[in-house]
A and B are shown apart, each in its own frame.
Chain A
Amino acid sequence: MQLLSNIESLLYFTPELLLVVSAIVVILVDLGVKNRESAIVAYLSLAGIGCVFVAVLLTYGQLGDRTSISLFLGMIRLDAFSTFFKVLLLLATAATILFSLRSDELDARLKGEYYALLLAITLGMFLMASSTNLLMIFIALETVSLTSYILAGFLTHNPRSSEAAFKYITYGAVASGTMLFGLSFLFGMTGTGDLGQISTRLTELLAAGEVYPLTVLIAIIFILAGVGYKIASVPFHMWSPDVYEGAPIPITAFLSVASKSAGFALFIRFFYSGFSSSEVLQSVDWTLMLAIVSALTMTVGNLAALPQQNVKRLLAYSSIAHGGYLLMGGVLLTPEGVGAILFYLVVYLFMNLGAFYVVVLIANEEGSEMVEGYRGLASRAPLVAGAMAIFLFSLTGIPPFAGFFGKWLLFTAVLEQGYYWLAFVGLLNSVVSLYYYARIVKAMYLEDAGEETTRTPFSTGTFALLSVFVIPTILIGFINIFYTFSNISVSVIPIQ
């Protein structure tokens, strides 16, 4: 691996720099725009995302034969893994910007800040996916957290949104503090912030008996609090239903997909680089602990989703459950497990964002986020209802939709390691989840809206955007290249 100095690193850091530039440009342009209804800043942000996307691919191309480069003297890593997540995050951000354009919820006067913050949060997530130093990890995490608090509370006229932001801050501050405490333990034991060196030092120290395994365990648990909070795993999930319900729908969609993906990127890099040596595992079996957390997360998420009447809240719990499924891949310490997570995240991006887009559309039309608002949607807007049904069945994991292939990869990886109980819990959870997803399908197809069945008109743009999510949700599972892609990205993760 090549270690680059600060100046040399800048070239490979262009995507992040471009994000900063875009955010600044958005704010400056917004100052000059007279017409408050104008969507110019949104399109400008989209253009920025486009440039960053190209830059991400170009910098990845510059890697050439090298598997990874360490930037800024070991603070940040550029490799296939981080590139994978950057692409994923850019897709999520672009989708969120498009949702925001179409959502009636957002206050037109606040647009400039809104998009600038979205770009800033993307920057934070980029760093989460590529940091290899404790300090950088914490800074990245905080960039994302602080920005999310503001975005969650963006509906200033809506008390629920403010409540969401307040809860988010409270939980977030506790989680960050706890994590920081854990990081300090780690630093205290090993005297370094670099993940690779931490792993080596910990292994030596444990082999020599110079640290108590209990200390390592405490450090790991505290760090898990911070990571678990980002991916909304039990018992750090409490904030997510309230925040998801109160935040503007595009932000909810963004948090449920992008924030979770970045959280998993951080989790995988941190735990697989730092704590996966056999000495560490022998003294602290965090994989078993995580397996239990995973089983609890999906069960709690699914059971809590069952009685929900608010679709946003329902999807929030469903998103917790999906975090649980994803965690299953994380406990395995195998390339297949990580590969399955990455593949599932791609699938999840499309199906979950798609479902949230429909929520945006229905909220615009009906002014309602409740399941009743979906009644008779099949006769009012057959295409939208059909798309929603596809997203929901894909989330359940029913073939031939992509969600099935994602789950199938995860369960294959889990069974390969002999975690039969975990696979059973996961699969039974899939059955449970069918019940609440089908409730929305039932409302759309099996119940009549009542007197009028006039068709709700949706624009061509709406259908175009919808098909951007529907087509991958149907096809990803059948295309070989996605499996290969996630496998390449995994190859750089150190797995003993």
Chain B
Amino acid sequence: MLLSLMIFIPLLGMIVVLLLPRESEELVKRVTLLFTLIPLALAVALFISYDRSAAGTQYVVNIPWIEAFNIQYHIGIDGLSVTLLLLTALLGPICVIASWRNIAKGIKAYMALFLLLETGMLGFFAALDLFLFYVFFELTLLPMYFLIGVWGGPRREYAAIKFFLYTLFGSVLMLVAMIAVYLNSGVPGVRTFDIPTLITLASTEGHALNDLNFQIWAFLGFFIGFAVKVPIFPFHTWLPDAHVEAPTAISVILAGILLKMGTYGLVRINMAMFPQGMDFFCNGTGTWGNSLALLGFINIVYGSFCALAQTDFKKLVAYSSIGHMGFVILGLAARNTEGITGAILQMFNHGVISGMLFLLVGVLYDRAHHREINGFGGLGAKMPIYTGITTLAFMASLGLPGLSGFVGEALSLLGAYDKFKMLTILSTIGIVVGAAYFLWTLQRVFLGTLNPKYEALPEINGREILTLAPLGILTIVLGIWPNFAIDMFRESVTNLVNVLQAI
């Protein structure tokens, strides 16, 4: 009940916002904030009350929905989903506050779509029925298209439709795989979309879902769907466009949550339901045995080098995201406790850190109205607080020990080294390059002589600090005490590793 409430409160908020008069903009913003704070409170409550020692799903709701096809409204949380739900619920109000001043037109529609988006994201992380999972997955598409397309930058139309087409392409392949799983799950009448049931069936010897060939193809179908979302090379080209054009808050959601939907899907569906398909692509032998790790490696190195070449601040952060998601893929490919724990931690951390980075880019853009890295210089003296927070975010992102980014990356690499020595060693290039582009950016923007154009640039204000502070604190806390998060999903990971090693 608590979980359903959390998912659908934003939807209710959307209806309320739509009913408000369009003139009262302040009211619209406050109502939206309220309707994002409630899910946050609920998420915190879930996070605290979640039983860490149990491995299974908790807070399960299972109601028949479309009986003709045995589709259920089945939701529940395990350690992984509760962590990502918390992240989603946390970024919700932060993004609303970040949008407070810089959405020029149609604030009502913007907030309504944002709330719809939040319902889609929350529902996605809680869904335990494959059909429901897909519906929530797609539900995020429409609001995102409008949020980028209507409130974005100069090339917003191109970016919005590119995002939409890429994601839809991925999801139709996923749809085929999903239908195939459904059809193979049993004889007509007892077929099911229930994810836990399907996972059990898929590991039952002799069942159609257990067939290696089937597992490989179904794995691929889902994988491409999620790979577009993560994004994994070569499906990544929509991401820089979408990020550069999206308004600040939407970039935060895009990097913080939508990318995680891809990696979450890989863990929830690809790894748990198709362990043999996973094995085929990650066992280190045969033609395809290294492919997933290789993709992770390409993401890391390619993303980092692309970031190094950028002169647009936002594009730099966008490419750095591609690099950081590579660590997640690499960690997952390792299929051991360290690797998966690292990958999940990296998902959460990246959500927090990239959220900060995009907010920081937004702060600067709102003042200077451009994002050209070389156009600044010497801001450190002008905006000391801003510089301090940015330095924190940069250091966290480049993986400085003591901050959260380090733990996830280190664990991922640790896990991966066990299985893919060469690729892991080569992947560390990405960390070096990461340090290079962040430090270089720091130097170009904050050090040196102040550009006289920006003599009067105002310091970061209280509202902006309010959005950054929770994320900054989380970065430090998770850097020092990563078990705060790891404890949540330790049991779930152990469970998953058992499934993966059982084959």
Contact = CB atoms under 8 A, between A and B. Distances in A.
Interface stretch (A162-170, A172-180, A189-197, A430-438): A430-438
Contacts of A478: 65-66
A399 B139 contact: yes
Interface stretch (B155-163, B286-294, B347-355): B155-163
A398 B160 CA distance: 16
Interface stretch (A132-140, A411-419, A456-464): A411-419
Nearest to A343: B68
A423 B217 CA distance: 15
A427 B183 contact: no
A400 interface: yes
A398 B183 CA distance: 21
Given A427-B175, A478-B66, A445 B182 contact: no
Contacts of B175: 408, 411, 427
B134 to A, nearest CB: 7
Range of interface residues on A (Cβ < 8 Å): 20 to 34
B9 to A, nearest CB: 18
B169 A445 contact: no
- Of A393, A404, A420, A427, chain B has the most CB atoms within 10 Å of the CB of A427
A339 to B, nearest CB: 10
SS of B interface (majority): helix
A445 B110 CA distance: 12
Contacts of B145: 438
B319 interface: no
Nearest to A336: B188
A442 interface: yes
A411 B161 contact: no
Given A435-B161, A480-B67, A445 B179 contact: no
B64 to A, nearest CB: 9
Contacts of B180: 415
B150 interface: yes
Counting contact residues on chain B (CB < 8 A from A), the size range is 20 to 34
Interface in B95-148: 106, 134-135, 138-139, 141-142, 145-146
Contact of A446 (B66, B69, B149, B182): B149
Interface in A463-487: 477-478, 480, 483-484, 487
B146 A434 contact: no
B28 to A, nearest CB: 15
A424 interface: yes
A428 interface: yes
Contacts of B68: 480, 483-484, 487
B139 A400 contact: yes
A188 B146 CA distance: 60
B161 A430 contact: no
Contact of B182 (A379, A400, A412, A427): A412
Contacts of A379: 106
Given A408-B175, A412-B183, A442 B161 contact: yes
Contacts of A483: 66, 68-69
A411 B182 CA distance: 12
Contacts of A477: 66
Contacts of B173: 427
B165 interface: yes
Contacts of B65: 478
Interface string B162-205: 00110011001101100110110000000000000000000000
B110 to A, nearest CB: 12
Contacts of B156: 446
| Residue of B106, B145, B150 with most partner-chain A CB within 10 A | B145
Nearest to B149: A446
A438 B67 contact: no
Contacts of A480: 66-68
B228 to A, nearest CB: 11
A376 to B, nearest CB: 11
Contacts of A431: 165, 168-169, 172
Contact of A438 (B164, B172, B176): B164
B164 to A, nearest CB: 6
A445 B179 CA distance: 33
Contacts of B138: 398-400, 404
B208 to A, nearest CB: 13
Contacts of A400: 135, 138-139
Given A393-B142, A484-B68, A442 B179 contact: no
A424 B165 CA distance: 16
Given A415-B179, A427-B173, A446 B135 contact: no
A427 B150 CA distance: 27
B176 A427 contact: yes
A408 B139 CA distance: 16
A477 B71 CA distance: 12
Given A431-B165, A438-B164, A445-B150, A399 B183 contact: no
B172 A446 contact: no
A420 B67 CA distance: 26
A429 to B, nearest CB: 9
Query: Which of A396, A411, A412, A420 neighbours the largest number of chain B CB atoms within 10 Å of its CB?
Result: A412
Contacts of A416: 183
B164 A415 contact: no
9 contacts: A411-B175, A415-B183, A428-B172, A431-B169, A431-B172, A438-B161, A442-B149, A445-B146, A447-B157
Which 8 interchain pairs have the tightest Cβ spacing?
A: A483-B68, A427-B172, A399-B135, A399-B138, A446-B149, A431-B169, A415-B179, A412-B179
Given A398-B141, A411-B176, A416-B183, 11 more contacts: A396-B168, A398-B138, A408-B179, A415-B176, A423-B176, A427-B176, A431-B169, A434-B165, A477-B66, A480-B66, A480-B67
Interface of B: 65-69, 106, 134-135, 138-139, 141-142, 145-146, 149-150, 156-157, 160-161, 164-165, 168-169, 172-173, 175-176, 179-180, 182-183
